Structures are given as C-alpha cells and as structure tokens.
Structure 1
Amino acid sequence: MSLTSLETITDTLLELMEACMNDILDCKWLAQ
C-alpha cells in the first residue's frame, strides 16, 4: 500500500468520525 492511499484512507476516516460525532451530538441535543 502506498503512502498516498494511506493518507487518503486516514483523511476519510477522520471525516467520517467527525460526521458521526456531529450526528451523535445532534441526537443527544434533540433527546433532551
């Protein structure tokens, strides 16, 4: 695996995690 594809995968994972965290925070906010 090349370094570039590893960087791309890491970036994608970080973006997904951020999106998930935002969704979770929104859900908690709505649940209150």
Structure 2
Amino acid sequence: MTEEGNEECEHNRPFFECEICGNVRMPKMNE
C-alpha cells in the first residue's frame, strides 16, 4: 500500500467511494 496508489482500492473502486474496505477519502479536487 503506497501513497502513490491511493486513487483506486483493491475492489477496483475509487477511494472516495469505497465503503467495502472502509476507505472513504475525498478526491484531490476540492469542488
């Protein structure tokens, strides 16, 4: 798990929309 690959999780889903692994992070875009 590196900080360079925090855009997608193991479930092939964005971190800001992955409630499977409990990784709820907002996208880099603050809009």
* Structure number with bigger Rg: 1
- Aligning the two structures, in what range does the TM-score lie when normalised by the shorter sequence? under 0.3
> What TM-score results when the alignment is normalised by the length of structure 1?
0.19
Q: Which has the higher contact order (CA 8 A, sep 6+)?
A: 2
> What TM-score results when the alignment is normalised by the length of structure 2?
0.19
**Structure (1 or 2) with the greater helix fraction:** 1
